[in-house]
């Protein structure tokens, strides 16, 4: 545990305009699993999705009133895959908005591409061989 008492990253929150559409995207297209779907204030829902077996998730929620519109974030979220080319092709074939091609920068930078969810939130997919 750190000196501050913080001990793990548990959730990243993304603003979405349509929670059901986002659940379908993250679960059906990307392979996440929905672990939480609970109502909260003013008719909203608190939804959490996780990669199977993972402990860090993504919360999908409408934007706070002060923010206005949902989405459009360069999230900084990076998702690992053992085969970036196969994953890129599978997601493209499933209709996911992915970059035209996998980026290959060489050196220590792994092959990668970016994808966008239905609200234009941007996530990165990086090749990381399985241990």
In a domain, 5, yes or no: no
Q: How many CB atoms lie within 10 A of CB 95?
A: 9
Do 124 and 110 touch, CB atoms closer than 8 A?
A: no
Look up tokens 């109502």; give the residue.
39
pLDDT band at 1 (very low <50, low <70, confident <90, very high): low
1-5, 12-16, 111-115, 122-126: least confident range: 1-5
Structural domain span for residue 51: 11-64+71-127
| Per-residue pLDDT at 65 | 73
The whole-angstrom separation of Cα 88 and Cα 83 is 9
Does the pLDDT at position 131 exceed 70? no
Number of domains in the chain: 1
Tell whether 6 is covered by a domain. Answer: no
Report the distance separating Cα 117 and Cα 67, nearest Å. Answer: 19
Q: Give the number of C-alpha atoms closer than 13 A to the C-alpha of residue 31, restricted to the C-beta side.
A: 11
% of the chain residues with pLDDT over 90: 76
């Amino acid at each position: 545990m750190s000196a501050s008492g913080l001990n793990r990253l548990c959730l990243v929150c993304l603003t979405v305009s349509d929670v059901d559409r986002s659940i379908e995207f993250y679960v059906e297209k990307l392979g996440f699993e929905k672990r939480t779907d609970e109502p909260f204030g003013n008719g909203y829902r608190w939804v959490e999705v996780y990669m199977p077996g993972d402990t860090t998730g993504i919360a999908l929620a409408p934007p706070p009133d002060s923010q206005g519109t949902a989405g459009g974030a360069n999230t900084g979220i990076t998702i690992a895959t053992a085969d970036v080319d196969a994953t890129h092709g599978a997601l493209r074939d499933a209709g996911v908005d992915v970059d035209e091609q996998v980026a290959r920068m060489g050196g220590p930078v792994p092959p990668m591409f970016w994808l966008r969810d239905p609200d234009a939130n941007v996530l990165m997919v990086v090749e990381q061989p399985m241990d």
